[in-house]
Amino acid sequence: MRKDYKLEKRKYVIGGFVLLIALIYVGRLFDLQINDERYKKSADTNAFLHKTVYPSRGLMYDRDGRLVVYNQPAYDVMLIPRDVQPFDTVDFCNTLNITPEQLRRRFADMRDKRLNPGYSSYTPQRLITQLSTEDYGRLQEKLYRFPGFYIQKRILRQYNYSAAANVLGNLREVSQTDIDKDPYYSPGDYCGDLGVERSYEEYLRGVKGEEILIRDSRGRIQGRYDGGAHDVEPISGHDLTLSIDIELQEYAERLMAGKRGAVVAIEPETGEILCLVSSPTYDPRLLVGRHRGENYKALVNDPSLPLFDRALGGAYPPGSTFKPTQGLILLQEGIITTSTTYPCHGGYVNGGLRVGCHAHGSPLPLKPALQTSCNAFFCWGFKAMIDRRGKYGNPANAFEIWKKHLVSMGYGYALGVDLPHESRGFLPNAKFYNKFYGEGHWSANTVISVAIGQGEILATPLQIANLAATIANRGWFITPHAVKAIQDTVLPPQYSERRRPTIDLKWYPEVAEGMRMAVTGGTCRRAAIPGIDVAGKTGTAQNPHGRDHSAFMGFAPYDHPKIAVAVYVENGGFGAVYGVPIGSLVMEKYLCDSIHPSRQYMEDQMISTTLPYSNAKR
């Protein structure tokens, strides 16, 4: 019965020690559970897999309801690195038909912060993109053997026609810049690149949905969170009806084969673009699927610039297709009347300057001047306007008036087509010349070449086609656009508003008639289509890149125009050689659906001709 009372006090030390620890633990729990919100967030990202459900992207139909662009499912192999456990790589590689070396590469690329700045071992990462349906099926069956992996269904584009790549555009993976600009995107998403895919991206893409799944620590899905009550259904994108006639587009692309240049056809009444050809072109299917990367690289490096849309991005000297604008301005400004004549003896000769012309009657008024594409007439007219100090004070003022009219006709600025990368062309202004020649040191003769669409003037084939449409409408146009209708919503209003140039309506028939005469008995007789009245204007544009460019613009039928067209063939020589036949064949194809037997040779000739180009980049 020993009891050491001194030692008994030690029970307080031991008890106190335990209580102290308990107190520390309670404090720590308070900190974890009540103080620190961080753990609640971690818990959510831990247990909930927010799986994106991609909406079906809007389809594209042509103006006649033919399906042009549709979707096909593709499957990406996703993984959450943290959840991946050692797995049978040989089995994995065999299932997907890849070599272990490729798999290792993919893992290395995925972890490379430079290639994949969004890498985190906690978030879903894309390992392999766009599995074929067969690979998908095989992997799906074995997926349970690869914890941490899952399959994400994606939407890829597929094309019924190999044409119109420049109009349709394609899809690419979003860049970091896209993500920064638009919070809709997250890494690995696709967005439209080029063409309609790009400009109508917000209509086409729809709204992403989200599935909230509960998963365990191995990434195994345990079911839907709350029975799917918090899931968000994806909303499909809007389908688009293009204004393009896909068969006409195909046909025009065929005619342009082997030649560089552009064909633009517009329905004058609506401003709808019927075809928009940039040549050389490429098969849009090249930019789909797992080989997109290498194909894209090849296209980018191709010296003929197939990815560059010449129809609206190419700025060319319009040459003689510019002359109708000159006639309209001169009439509007009262410089000439319909009967004013100017002489032409092989060209415009004034003040030591000579602009050559070809043989035709002289002197002549506006309509025959258009018919014969007389350089002298338009040079005299231009000189008469610019140098009329009595009316304008000085050449600079006169030039600004001249320019203002052209701008109203759609030159010098982008027209506002619903496609990306439209060039504005180029119109010099008085300031430009003041700077170049010095103020007061230039006059009409100094800049005379602009009167015939040469010199500093540059226009896109789209602008030229728009001029044809304006003349076809006898004085107005609607901003050209490639999309006719958007499902469940309306087109932006600017694509139904008439735009009026600053030229009185009464002058247009004069110019139209001159263009009609060019077909019946002038420079573009080859544009004549049996049974249809065609009006047209050739263009032969000198340029610093070798042989003249061959251009044509026109419309038909003359009285109730259904199509206006512009053709531009780089280094094609005289307008009549390539521009006229291609333009008229396109119009004939559109209006008659077939080519008259008497013109069949022309078609064959165009399709089979290949022009030689040096591969130096423009």
CB of 11 to another protein, least distance (A): 6
CB of 216 to another protein, least distance (A): 4
The residue among 17 and 413 lying less far from another protein, judged by its C-beta, is 17
SS3 305: coil
Q: Mark the segment that binds another protein (CB under 8 A) among 8-16, 99-107, 420-428, 454-462.
A: 8-16
Contacting residue, 5, 13, 227, 598, with another protein by CB under 8 A = 13
The residue among 47 and 98 lying less far from another protein, judged by its C-beta, is 47
Contacting residue, 15, 351, 440, 521, with another protein by CB under 8 A = 15
The residue among 160 and 217 lying less far from another protein, judged by its C-beta, is 217
Cα–Cα dist 555/516, whole Å: 9
The residue among 26 and 505 lying less far from another protein, judged by its C-beta, is 26
- Interacting residues of 508 by C-beta distance below 8 A, sequence separation 6+: 328, 470, 471, 474, 475
- Find the binding residues for another protein in span 195-234 (CB under 8 A): 214-218, 222-223
- Interacting residues of 96 by C-beta distance below 8 A, sequence separation 6+: 77, 128, 131, 135, 138, 139
The residue among 46 and 332 lying less far from another protein, judged by its C-beta, is 46
Question: How, if at all, do strands 546-556 and 535-543 pair?
Answer: antiparallel
Residue 40-79 contact track with another protein, rule CB under 8 A, x = bound: x-xxx-xxx-------------------------------
- Find the binding residues for another protein in span 106-165 (CB under 8 A): 121
Cα–Cα dist 415/409, whole Å: 9
Question: Reduced to 3 DSSP states, what percent helix, strand and coil does the chain have, rounded to the nearest 5?
Answer: 40, 20, 35
Q: Is 7 in the site for another protein (CB under 8 A)?
A: yes
Instruction: Using CB under 8 A, count the residues that bind another protein.
Output: 42
Contacting residue, 5, 25, 151, 415, with another protein by CB under 8 A = 25
Polymer length of the chain: 618
Cα–Cα dist 479/415, whole Å: 6
Q: In the 8-state DSSP scheme, what is residue 551?
A: E
Q: What single-letter amino acid sits at 256?
A: M
Task: Provide the b/e sequence for 391-415 (b: ≥16 CB within 10 Å).
Answer: ebeebbebbebbbebbeebbbbebb
The residue among 32 and 108 lying less far from another protein, judged by its C-beta, is 32
Q: Which of 422, 508, 463 is nearest to 317 (CA)?
A: 463
The residue among 229 and 490 lying less far from another protein, judged by its C-beta, is 229
Cα–Cα dist 331/365, whole Å: 12
CB of 48 to another protein, least distance (A): 8
CB of 231 to another protein, least distance (A): 17
Q: Mark the segment that binds another protein (CB under 8 A) among 15-23, 204-212, 384-392, 523-531.
A: 15-23
- Do 193 and 171 form a contact (C-beta atoms < 8 A)? yes
Cα–Cα dist 474/462, whole Å: 18
- Do 573 and 598 form a contact (C-beta atoms < 8 A)? no
Question: How, if at all, do strands 353-356 and 347-350 pair?
Answer: antiparallel
The residue among 6 and 113 lying less far from another protein, judged by its C-beta, is 6
Q: Mark the segment that binds another protein (CB under 8 A) among 9-17, 184-192, 429-437, 603-611.
A: 9-17
CB of 111 to another protein, least distance (A): 14
The residue among 5 and 608 lying less far from another protein, judged by its C-beta, is 5
Cα–Cα dist 545/613, whole Å: 10
- CA dist 73 to 9, 294, 377, 404, Å? 78, 21, 61, 51
Contacting residue, 8, 101, 134, 180, with another protein by CB under 8 A = 8
Q: Is 359 in the site for another protein (CB under 8 A)?
A: no
- Residue 535 belongs to what H/E stretch? strand 535-543
The residue among 229 and 616 lying less far from another protein, judged by its C-beta, is 229
Q: Mark the segment that binds another protein (CB under 8 A) among 31-39, 58-66, 254-262, 451-459.
A: 31-39
For residue 184, give both structure tokens: 């809709």
Contact residues: another protein, CB under 8 A: 1-2, 4, 7-8, 10-11, 13-15, 18-19, 21-22, 24-26, 28-30, 32-34, 36, 38-40, 42-44, 46-48, 82, 121, 214-218, 222-223
